[in-house]
């Protein structure tokens, strides 16, 4: 089965980088995978990552995820570490043995705001699927691959829109499932990786019907408007909010509709496979003023409402918040924002229960969100977890020409670091 992506089928970068990076295997090269090699990467890693899917369903899902708006036309790049001098076996290229290590990268629109007032639109590459097959492990291949990748991504051409001037690559990110050290040693600095977890089962004293009238269920068709308004809010927020001492730059992966659609393509595929149904409710919206409109008007910043966009995790039976939009809190709106957050917590619990899930997760919650969860579920019933092993949000910063004053991680604030950024 060939993946249905439209990325180039032959490698465009096929020589080792000229920079003097000190890798264990300097003779190896990292290059974009050919179409058969992409499929071989899935063959190699399926036993680890197919989860509740059969092997064939896993291949279909990966191909499906590679052909979304976010990923088609060069938005996803599959990488393989290979020995260019390795003799070709008679069966070559039908066997995947020549793939020493593999991974994929997804292009995301991002912003960098600097303490001197500058704002720069950039892209980041989100790295996922880092994998070495068992027979090749422990030989330094993954480390070599990551060292080459970190270096090559900085100048990797953005091929998604050839009509526009390509944006600079501002940084790359990954979410480590093997703790903080491995990727830190090769340049990706771990950042805040916490989440709040609360149960779907609410205390009997909480009445879902008391908030139901205010809450609007978010449908797929409304995501574009909500995300555009949210991105406008974020763009203003990261420039206008005072910088903490020592912070030189802020970065954010924008929660655009294409990113949400990619997560939802994943949940819909797995939902259909596991339950025969795809979730249609993509989140919940609550007004905080009498005049708030749903969906919010184009050009507004969503300051009169709060909403959550979520995704369903059928393997773990959890509802995951992809993005929680909370307007800036002032003394005038604090009570209304808190009430809206409580209503969103109740709406999430209802959705989670409807699918028979037990738990709801929100990444890097702020104090007001934690307060809202606590006041709905009770002090004893939620956990604030600082992850040490799984999904460690890690970032490699790429300085501009002539830049260099921004130091990772102390001088860089990764804002709105929520589940939507994961890949
Ligand atoms: C993790 C993985 C990619 C490492 O590949 P590899 O080619 O064997 O890695 P290298 O030989 O370059 O480096 C080995 C290092 O990885 C570390 N490592 C391997 N598996 C690890 C794990 N589960 N947790 C923490 N560290 C791990 C080793 O301790 C070693 O560190 P050291 O060099 O400081 O002693 C490989 O074990 C794998 O594919 N695992 C299954 C998929 C996976 O977990 N991928 C990572 C997702 S974030």
Which of 80, 130, 178, 184 gets mutated to test ligand 1 (max ligand atoms within 8 A of its CB)? 178
Taking alpha carbons only, the member of 6, 330, 365, 408 closest to residue 196 is 365
143, 186, 389: which to mutate for ligand 1, most atoms within 8 A of CB?
143
The three-class DSSP label of residue 152 is helix
Query: Nearest residue CA, atom 16 of ligand 1?
Result: 182
The residue whose CB lies within 8 Å of the most ligand 1 atoms, and thus the one to mutate among 25, 137, 141, 177, is: 137
Q: Compute, in angstroms, the gap from residue 412 CA to the centroid of ligand 1.
A: 27
Which of the 8 DSSP states describes residue 174? E
pLDDT at 400: 86
Helix (H) or strand (E) holding 62: helix 55-65
Residue nearest atom 34 of ligand 1, based on CA coordinates:
182
Cα(192)–Cα(195) distance, integer angstroms? 10
Write out the two tokens for 84. 């260019």
Residue partners of 253: CB distance under 8 A and separation at least 6? 108, 109, 110, 124, 126, 173, 259, 416, 420, 421
Residue nearest to atom 23 of ligand 1 (CA): 178
Q: Whose CA is nearest to atom 8 of ligand 1?
A: 137
Same fold yes or no, 29-193+390-421 and 194-386: yes
Between the CA of 142 and the centroid of ligand 1 the distance, in Å, is: 7
Q: What per-residue confidence (pLDDT) applies to 204?
A: 87
Interval 101-137: pLDDT, tens? 999 999 999 999 999 999 999 999 999 999 999 999 9
Ligand 1 probe mutation, 82, 132, 150, 181, most atoms within 8 A of CB: 132
Interaxial angle between packed helices 55-65 and 257-275, expressed in degrees from 0 to 180 and rounded to the nearest 10: 160
Strand order of the sheet with strand 318-325?
216-219, 281-287, 305-313, 318-325, 359-363, 194-199, 383-386
Ligand 1 centre from 52 Cα, in Å? Answer: 23
Ligand 1 centroid, distance to 163 Cα (angstroms): 40
56 Cβ partners below 8 Å, 6+ apart? 1
For tokens 């060939």, the residue is: 2
Class of domain 29-193+390-421: alpha beta
Q: Ligand 1: which residue has its CA nearest to atom 12?
A: 140
Domain boundaries along the sequence of the chain = 29-193+390-421, 194-386
Whether 7 and 77 have beta carbons less than 8 Å apart is answered as: yes
Distance 132 CA to ligand 1 centre (A): 8
Cα atoms found within 13 Å of the Cα of residue 173, Cβ hemisphere only: 29
Residue segments in the chain with a per-residue pLDDT below the cut of 70: 1-20, 87-95, 404
Long-range pairs for 96-100 at CB < 8 Å and ≥24 separation?
96/37, 96/40, 96/41, 96/43, 96/44, 96/133, 97/135, 99/33, 99/37, 99/40, 99/41, 99/44, 99/133, 100/28, 100/132, 100/136, 100/141, 100/145
Q: Among 285, 292, 283, which residue's Cα sits nearest to residue 220? A: 283
What residues are in contact with ligand 1 under a 6 Å CB criterion? 48, 101, 130-132, 137-143, 176-179, 182
Q: Give the global pTM.
A: 0.93
**How far, CA to CA in Å, does 65 sit from each of 7, 58, 268, 312, 315?**
13, 10, 11, 16, 17
Looking at ligand 1, which residue's alpha carbon is closest to its atom 43?
131
Task: Give pLDDT, residue 157.
Answer: 75
Residues 169-203 as b or e (16 or more Cβ within 10 Å = b): bbbbbbbbeeebebbeebbbbbbebebbbbbbebe
Could you tell me whether strands 169-176 and 119-131 are parallel, antiparallel, or unpaired per DSSP bridges? parallel
- pLDDT for res 93: 57
Entry field: residues in the chain: 423
Quick one: pLDDT at residue 211?
73
Side-chain-side CA neighbours of 303 within 13 Å: the count stands at 12
CA angle 214, 220, 221 (to 5 degrees): 90
- Tell the burial category of 418 from Cβ atoms under 10 Å away from its Cβ (0-12, 13-18, 19+): buried
* In this structure, CATH architecture of domain 194-386: 3-Layer(aba) Sandwich (3.40)
* Per-residue model confidence (pLDDT) at position 90: 59
Ligand 1 atom with the shortest distance to the CA of 174: 48
- pLDDT at residue 10, rounded to an integer: 34
pLDDT of the residue at 1: 32
Give the Cα separation of 116 and 245 in Å (integer). Answer: 13
Q: How far is the CA of 127 from the centre of ligand 1 (A)?
A: 15
Alpha helices per DSSP H over 320-406: 334-354, 367-377
* 105 Cα to the center of ligand 1, angstroms: 18
pLDDT at res. 161: 73
3-class DSSP assignment, residue 122: strand
Task: Report DSSP state, residue 179.
Answer: T
From the number of C-beta atoms within 10 Å of its C-beta (0-12, 13-18, 19+), residue 307 rates as buried
Angstrom distance (rounded) from CA 331 to CA 360: 29
């Amino acid at each position: 089965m060939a993946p249905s992506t439209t990325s180039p089928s032959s490698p465009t970068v096929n020589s080792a980088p000229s920079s003097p990076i000190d890798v264990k295997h300097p003779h190896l090269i990292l290059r974009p995978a050919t179409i058969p090699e992409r499929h071989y990467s899935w063959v190699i890693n399926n036993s680890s990552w197919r989860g509740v899917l059969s092997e064939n369903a896993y291949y279909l899902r990966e191909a499906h995820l590679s052909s979304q708006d976010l990923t088609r036309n060069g938005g996803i790049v599959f990488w393989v570490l290979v020995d260019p001098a390795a003799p070709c076996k008679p069966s070559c290229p039908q066997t995947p043995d020549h793939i020493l290590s593999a991974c994929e990268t997804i292009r995301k629109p991002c912003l960098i705001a600097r303490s001197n007032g500058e704002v720069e639109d950039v892209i980041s590459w989100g790295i996922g699927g880092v994998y070495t097959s068992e027979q090749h492990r422990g030989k330094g291949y993954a480390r070599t691959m990551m060292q080459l990748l970190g270096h090559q991504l900085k100048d990797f051409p953005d091929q998604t829109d050839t009509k526009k001037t390509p944006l600079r690559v501002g940084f790359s990110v990954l979410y480590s499932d093997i703790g903080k050290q491995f990727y830190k040693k090769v340049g990706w600095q771990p950042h805040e990786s916490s989440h709040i977890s609360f149960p779907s089962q609410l205390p009997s004293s909480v009445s879902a019907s008391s908030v139901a009238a205010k809450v609007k269920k978010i449908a797929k068709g409304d995501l574009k408007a909500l995300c555009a308004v949210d991105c406008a809010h974020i763009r203003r927020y990261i420039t206008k909010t005072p910088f903490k001492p020592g912070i030189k730059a802020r970065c954010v992966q924008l929660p655009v509709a294409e990113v949400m659609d990619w997560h939802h393509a994943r949940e819909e595929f797995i939902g259909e496979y596991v339950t025969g149904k795809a979730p249609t409710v993509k989140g919940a919206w609550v007004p905080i003023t009498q005049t708030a409109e749903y969906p919010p008007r184009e050009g507004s910043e969503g300051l009169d409402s709060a909403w959550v966009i979520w995704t369903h995790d059928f393997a773990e039976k959890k509802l995951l918040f992809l993005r929680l939009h909370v307007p800036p809190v002032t003394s005038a709106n604090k009570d209304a924002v808190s009430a809206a957050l409580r209503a969103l917590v109740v709406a999430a619990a209802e959705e989670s229960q409807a699918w028979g899930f037990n738990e709801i997760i929100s990444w890097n919650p702020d104090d007001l969100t934690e307060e809202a969860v606590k006041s709905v579920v009770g002090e004893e019933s939620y956990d604030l977890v600082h992850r040490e092993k799984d999904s460690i949000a890690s970032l490699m910063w790429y300085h501009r020409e002539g830049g260099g004053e921004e130091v990772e991680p102390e001088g860089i604030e990764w804002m709105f670091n929520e589940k939507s950024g994961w890949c």
